[in-house]
Amino acid sequence: MFKINADPADCVVHSVIRFLNINNVKQAEIRQLVEIYGENVMTDGMVRKWIRQFNDKHTNVHDEAQSGRPSVFNDGLVAKVNEKIRENRWFTIRMLCDEFPQISKTVLHENVTNGLNYHKIW
């Protein structure tokens, strides 16, 4: 029986896929990584993606940096939101959305509750 490594680094799994792919192991057999690394190691679609990349002469086993969406919630904006909250302790997220229209309601709520640690008091 194999020892299960429940949380392997992505590059380790990618390296195993690359090795098996070079040795002409079938994709269905490569999916047996689940036996070694656990159920959440990688989906079938991701295995196919990495095999396709390695077949296209891609050799890097690390994920490429992704730019993502830039955050509009910077330190200066956090200070302004905190100042508005301190001006009116009976604030609502809706009121803050009116004051800061450039920030989505979801992002604002997350940053007020998680970042600034303000919570509803009954």
- Whether 70 shows a pLDDT value over 70: the answer reads no
Looking at the fold, whether 21 and 51 belong to one and the same domain comes out as yes
**pTM for this entry:** 0.48
pLDDT in tens, 83-113: 999 998 888 889 998 988 888 888 888 888 8
Contacts of residue 51, Cβ cutoff 8 Å, sequence gap at least 6:
17, 21, 27, 30
Residue written as token pair 């190691």 = 41
Is residue 82 domain-shared with residue 52, that is, in the same domain? Answer: no
Distance CA 41, CA 10 (A): 9
Per-residue pLDDT tens for 24-63?
888 888 877 767 777 777 777 888 888 888 888 878 887 6
Q: Is residue 14 part of a domain?
A: yes
Q: Domain tally for the chain?
A: 2
Longest dimension (CA), the chain: 66
Angle value at C-alpha 108, between 106 and 110, nearest 5 degrees: 70
Encode 7-42: b = buried (16+ Cβ within 10 Å), e = exposed. Answer: ebeeeebbebbbebbeeeeeeeebbebeeebeeebb
Domain that holds residue 81: 75-116
Residue 34 tokens read as: 């689940």
The reply to whether 106 falls in a domain is yes
